[in-house]
Chain A
Amino acid sequence: MRFRRTVLFAAVGALALGLAACGSSESGSSSSSSSNGASVVTPAGYQSSVNESLSGKRGGTLEVLQEADFEHLDPGISYFALDYEVVFATQRPLYSNKPNSNETVADMASGTPEVSADNETVTVHLKEGVDFSPPVNREVTSQDVAYAIERGANPNVANPYIQTYFSAIEGMPQAKGGTIKGIETPNKHEIVLHLTEPKGFFVAEALCLPLTAAVPKEYAEKFDKNKPSNYAAYEVATGPYMLKNNAAGKVLGIGYVPGKSATLVRNPNWSPKTDFRPAYLNEIDIKIGGTQAVIDRQVLEGTNVVQNEPVAQSAVRLAAESYKSQLDLSPGGGNRYITLNSKVGPFTNIDLRKAVWAALDREALDRTRGGDLVSNVATHFIYPTIPGFEQAGGLAGPKGADYNEHPEGDMAVAEKYIKLAGYPSGKYTGTKTVQVVGASSSPEKEDAEIVNQTLKDLGFNTKLTLVEISTMYAKYCNAPKEEIEVCPTVGWIADFADPQTVLKPTFDGEDIVSTGNVNQGQFNDPKVNAAMKAAETTQGKEARAAAWGKIDDELVENAAAIPYDWEKSPRLEGKDVHGVAMLWNEGAWDYSFTSLK
């Protein structure tokens, strides 16, 4: 549930993305980018992470321009697409993705994870001959991976997803940074995870998260004792690049100057024989700051340079018209949907939720974001690139839901459902004023206005409140006690390519919490909850895709929320850059595969 940058700046709770199926236990798994809809939503004639060539020329320095600063470059904390660009160029988790795929490959691991028949033990063997960068300069062992995971539970590190994905490891729920009973290292190159629940397949998939990137205990422990840990200021690398440092290993102020720059140089201890990354570039110079409008032009007219998100809509249009070869469009930018409160207020009535869905002009919402080039009208919740997308109906969506059949809106169908809800005139005549809370920035503001107008057209009295996006989440939409009826601009992005990471946090009624609640509509259906519980322990990619695809169908059937947009991520690159974007990471740049022409 990584944050996309715009969200990151704005708030807890908006979209966050990533879809790496980290540790598939099925060697040679059949799932490809095309079978999950990635290819079908990629606009023809444009570069994309789906069809990018991975070959390149060695050498040169790439300049990266980005408006936002990094959040956390410590692999144990990092949880943000922009941070991942650096983290995945400098660190090697157990499993990683090639940029044009959401299938994982062994990275620090030497092969696929072995999941026991009872689904309660995961064994991973490590490669030999992978060394830490200076000043540590020694081989990585399984103890380093164990420490990396254990430190994530240290309150001084406080990894944001460790309990979400690794709580099944024996001893993890109580862990505070010390040894965890369920993590065993029988020898230098083997790590075994013992689980208390049959969730081995899912845990194995999560091994692609950067939490599993090795950290040398004897070096990092002193930094991890600080409150909070400042290991990032001295972090060492295992990947092809490292943040520039001094002899003592200090990175802060040298290889990373907050708010100003980051410099990645080659890791002298990296061996290409142990890695699938080609690492064409000699150096990556990241300049932080500036404004989108200027950066976009500097990249379109510049050389040796790429831009990091976000790209202004005007620049996307300009690039599409005049610099087509410099525009990279990656599918898999997450979903967006409208939540209708199913716990209190009029939308406890499922037919009213369906009526709003039917009436809504989802094509208009799509246009506010730039139209087909950068998004698709959503017909369900699992978005392209995530397994389960096709099983949930693909682009067209599940069959049989007439309220989902007309993306331009259909008032006749809407009236039918309003009548079914007990309002014979075909208009809602209740007295309750519906509170709609949206974000004041564009295009969220326009989205909220479209939704608000639709509600009015159906007869609802509404009160539209537009606030700064972080306030929208923190004070209203993510706070159940506020009882907001409609949140028109929320969304989600997976952490890795498993549909559970899309649907469970957002629609599992058992996960509703009093603050920071991301099931904004408070959808709580015992049947769906039970289906999710069963799907959590399902093994095998295809079986999981089918199980979660079916849950997606049920969410549509229950009008749990109204999906309206599947996003694509545009990126710009200089004339002489062969930029390679990461399909699994919101189309962010993969520095280990990008090269200069």
Chain B
Amino acid sequence: MIRYIIRRLLWGALLLIIVVALMFVFFRILPTGNPALLRAGRDPQPGLVKEIEVLLGLNKSLPVQFWDYMKEIFFHFRFGYSYYSQEEVRTLIVERLPATLSLTLGAAVLWLVGGLSVGIISALRRHTLLDRFAMGSALVAISMPEFWFGLVVLFLFADDIGKFKILPGAGTYVGKWFTSLIMPWIVLAAGSAAIFARLMRSSLGEAMSEDYIRTARAKGLPERQVVRHGVRSAINPLVTLFGLEVGVLLGGAILVEAVFNIPGIGRLSYQSIQSSDFPVIQGTVILASLFIILANIAVDIAYAYLDPRVRFS
């Protein structure tokens, strides 16, 4: 098992290096990507653009820039400074991380509990009115764009602009941590919960028709225990999905963070892309990649733990 974990970690590290390298190349070759031009004002004088390129280290050759960039990241865990605020990117990310963690983990709990419960009930009550209602609702939840859904709940329930002034609205994250996150959690969890519910329904449906379930019933096990066996088997494919979704969202839930004005990684990433703030873009994308890679490794390890055959394949 330990060898397996080491192997996965090494692959993860290699993948991260590749992502970091690709990102450097992408942002340096994009046609819009000369921050010196942006910084030089609207009527950029060639001399000034050159001065700013020197100032930002953009005058160095690409290999030198690449080496400096990799060295700082991997030897010093430094991503540089924002071209605009001059704040250290690491500080910006660390400041934003709690909001993104709060948003993602809260939503993950919601969609896991909600999605699995609905999926299990639907699987066990197949073709009933309840099942049809639950799956119909899931379809609606999957189809709703997060941005639109976010606006709808705000216009309905926010205590400043809502019809029914129940919950704190956008921009209240600082000061009202828990209550301000209730609506974002619901919005962020809705789509994933619906997918989980549908997957769980079909996965559990299949599991419940397996031979070992029939055997368990034949042996006279109580139905609750039979269902528990079925759920343990049916949940395996959802582990992968769960890990990946959490990984992606930890890299920033851009739309939900924007609608609810939550100062998280997603919004930081969005703002930096808009202003070609390379160091911040790089920092946030590396962080997002890191989360996805870590989530993948965690999923692989969980799988290896649940199914020993994986370790040897």
Question: Chain B: which residue is nearest A73 at the CB level?
Answer: B85
Query: Roughly how many angstroms separate A287 CA and B174 CA in the complex, as a whole number?
Result: 11
Selected interface stretch from A29-37, A352-360, A510-518: A510-518
Query: Roughly how many angstroms separate A536 CA and B92 CA in the complex, as a whole number?
Result: 45
Our pick among A163, A298, A475 for the contact of B31 (Cβ within 8 Å) is A475
Q: Which residues of chain A are within 8 angstroms of B276 by Cβ–Cβ distance?
A: 470
B32 touches A294 (CB 8 A): no
Q: Which residues of chain B are within 8 angstroms of A260 by Cβ–Cβ distance?
A: 95, 174, 263
Query: Roughly how many angstroms separate A515 CA and B154 CA in the complex, as a whole number?
Result: 45
Selected interface stretch from B34-42, B137-145, B291-299: B34-42
Query: Roughly how many angstroms separate A298 CA and B260 CA in the complex, as a whole number?
Result: 12
Residue picked from A258, A295, A474, most chain B C-beta under 10 Å: A258
Q: Which residues of chain A are within 8 angstroms of B174 by Cβ–Cβ distance?
A: 260
Query: Roughly how many angstroms separate A16 CA and B38 CA in the complex, as a whole number?
Result: 13
B49 touches A515 (CB 8 A): yes
Our pick among B40, B51, B56, B261 for the contact of A290 (Cβ within 8 Å) is B261
B11 → chain A, closest Cβ, in Å?
Answer: 34
A515 touches B55 (CB 8 A): no
- Would you list which residues of chain B between 261 and 301 have a CB under 8 Å from chain A? 261, 263, 267-268, 271, 274-276
B154 touches A294 (CB 8 A): yes
B37 touches A515 (CB 8 A): yes
Selected interface stretch from A227-235, A343-351, A414-422: A227-235
A550 → chain B, closest Cβ, in Å?
Answer: 23
B209 within 8 A of A: no
B1 within 8 A of A: no
- Would you list which residues of chain B between 176 and 206 have a CB under 8 Å from chain A? none
Our pick among B42, B51, B86, B154 for the contact of A2 (Cβ within 8 Å) is B42
Question: Chain B: which residue is nearest A13 at the CB level?
Answer: B42
A297 touches B155 (CB 8 A): yes
B42 touches A258 (CB 8 A): no
User: Contacts A163-B47, A515-B46 hold; do A158 and B84 have CB atoms under 8 A apart?
Assistant: no
Q: Which residues of chain A are within 8 angstroms of B34 by Cβ–Cβ distance?
A: 474
A60 within 8 A of B: no
Our pick among B42, B86, B170 for the contact of A294 (Cβ within 8 Å) is B170
Our pick among B92, B161, B275 for the contact of A9 (Cβ within 8 Å) is B275
- Would you list which residues of chain B between 25 and 84 have a CB under 8 Å from chain A? 31-32, 34, 37-49, 51-52, 54-56, 82, 84
Question: Chain A: which residue is nearest B82 at the CB level?
Answer: A258
B12 within 8 A of A: no
Question: Chain B: which residue is nearest A475 at the CB level?
Answer: B31
Our pick among B55, B84, B258, B271 for the contact of A72 (Cβ within 8 Å) is B84
The prevalent SS among residues of A at the interface is: loop
Question: Chain A: which residue is nearest B268 at the CB level?
Answer: A259
User: Contacts A156-B55, A258-B85 hold; do A1 and B258 have CB atoms under 8 A apart?
Assistant: no
A71 within 8 A of B: yes
B223 within 8 A of A: no
Query: Roughly how many angstroms separate A421 CA and B253 CA in the complex, as a whole number?
Result: 56
A324 → chain B, closest Cβ, in Å?
Answer: 19
B210 within 8 A of A: no
User: Contacts A163-B45, A289-B171 hold; do A12 and B40 have CB atoms under 8 A apart?
Assistant: yes
B49 touches A516 (CB 8 A): yes
Query: Roughly how many angstroms separate A233 CA and B87 CA in the complex, as a whole number?
Result: 8
Q: Which residues of chain B are within 8 angstroms of A228 by Cβ–Cβ distance?
A: 55-56, 86
A499 → chain B, closest Cβ, in Å?
Answer: 15
Q: Which residues of chain B are within 8 angstroms of A71 by Cβ–Cβ distance?
A: 84, 275
Question: Chain A: which residue is nearest B275 at the CB level?
Answer: A9
A43 within 8 A of B: no
Q: Which residues of chain A are within 8 angstroms of B41 by Cβ–Cβ distance?
A: 1, 3, 12, 16, 79, 160-161
A291 within 8 A of B: yes
A291 touches B259 (CB 8 A): yes
B208 → chain A, closest Cβ, in Å?
Answer: 45
Query: Roughly how many angstroms separate A72 CA and B38 CA in the complex, as a whole number?
Result: 12
B39 touches A298 (CB 8 A): no
Q: Which residues of chain B are within 8 angstroms of A164 by Cβ–Cβ distance?
A: 43, 45
B263 touches A289 (CB 8 A): yes
B246 within 8 A of A: no
A287 touches B47 (CB 8 A): no
Q: Which residues of chain B are within 8 angstroms of A287 by Cβ–Cβ distance?
A: 171, 261
Interface string of A250-281 (1 = CB under 8 A from B): 00110011111000000000000000000000
User: Contacts A259-B92, A259-B268, A513-B46 hold; do A290 and B86 have CB atoms under 8 A apart?
Assistant: no
Q: Which residues of chain B are within 8 angstroms of A396 by Cβ–Cβ distance?
A: none
B32 touches A468 (CB 8 A): yes
A405 within 8 A of B: no
A230 touches B43 (CB 8 A): no
B126 → chain A, closest Cβ, in Å?
Answer: 41
A9 touches B51 (CB 8 A): no
Question: Chain A: which residue is nearest B91 at the CB level?
Answer: A253
Our pick among A227, A258, A514 for the contact of B84 (Cβ within 8 Å) is A258
Residue picked from A8, A14, A69, A253, most chain B C-beta under 10 Å: A69
B267 touches A256 (CB 8 A): no
A372 → chain B, closest Cβ, in Å?
Answer: 27
Q: Which residues of chain B are within 8 angstroms of A513 by Cβ–Cβ distance?
A: 44-46
A293 within 8 A of B: yes
Question: Chain A: which residue is nearest B55 at the CB level?
Answer: A228
Q: Which residues of chain B are within 8 angstroms of A227 by Cβ–Cβ distance?
A: 55
B84 touches A12 (CB 8 A): no
B170 touches A298 (CB 8 A): yes
User: Contacts A69-B84, A252-B86 hold; do A294 and B261 have CB atoms under 8 A apart?
Assistant: yes
B169 within 8 A of A: yes
A110 within 8 A of B: no
Our pick among B31, B42, B268 for the contact of A12 (Cβ within 8 Å) is B42
A302 within 8 A of B: yes
Query: Roughly how many angstroms separate A515 CA and B171 CA in the complex, as a whole number?
Result: 40
Our pick among B38, B43, B85, B87 for the contact of A1 (Cβ within 8 Å) is B43
Query: Roughly how many angstroms separate A498 CA and B295 CA in the complex, as a whole number?
Result: 58
A505 within 8 A of B: yes
Q: Which residues of chain A are within 8 angstroms of B169 by Cβ–Cβ distance?
A: 294, 298
Query: Roughly how many angstroms separate A253 CA and B263 CA in the complex, as a whole number?
Result: 14
Residue picked from B42, B51, B85, B95, most chain A C-beta under 10 Å: B42
- Would you list which residues of chain A between 295 and 325 have a CB under 8 Å from chain B? 295, 297-298, 301-302
User: Contacts A290-B258, A294-B261, A515-B37 hold; do A471 and B51 have CB atoms under 8 A apart?
Assistant: no
Q: Which residues of chain B are within 8 angstroms of A160 by Cβ–Cβ distance?
A: 39-42, 44, 48
Q: Which residues of chain B are within 8 angstroms of A459 by Cβ–Cβ distance?
A: none
A492 → chain B, closest Cβ, in Å?
Answer: 8
A65 → chain B, closest Cβ, in Å?
Answer: 7
A531 → chain B, closest Cβ, in Å?
Answer: 20
B40 touches A289 (CB 8 A): no
Q: Which residues of chain A are within 8 angstroms of B170 by Cβ–Cβ distance?
A: 290-291, 294-295, 298
User: What are 6 of the A-B contact pairs (CB < 8 Å)?
Assistant: A158-B39, A161-B43, A289-B263, A294-B161, A302-B160, A518-B43
A-side residues, CB < 8 A to B, are: 1-3, 7-14, 16, 65, 68-72, 79, 155-156, 158, 160-161, 163-164, 227-228, 230, 232-233, 252-253, 256-260, 287, 289-291, 293-295, 297-298, 301-302, 468, 470-471, 474-475, 505, 511, 513-516, 518
B-side residues, CB < 8 A to A, are: 31-32, 34, 37-49, 51-52, 54-56, 82, 84-87, 91-92, 95-96, 151, 154-155, 160-161, 169-171, 174, 258-259, 261, 263, 267-268, 271, 274-276
Further contacts, 15 of them, CB under 8 A, given A79-B41, A232-B86: A9-B275, A12-B37, A69-B84, A71-B275, A164-B45, A228-B56, A258-B87, A289-B258, A289-B267, A293-B151, A297-B155, A298-B160, A298-B161, A474-B34, A515-B37
Shortest beta-carbon contacts, A-B, top 9: A160-B41, A290-B261, A516-B44, A258-B85, A475-B31, A1-B42, A470-B32, A297-B161, A9-B274
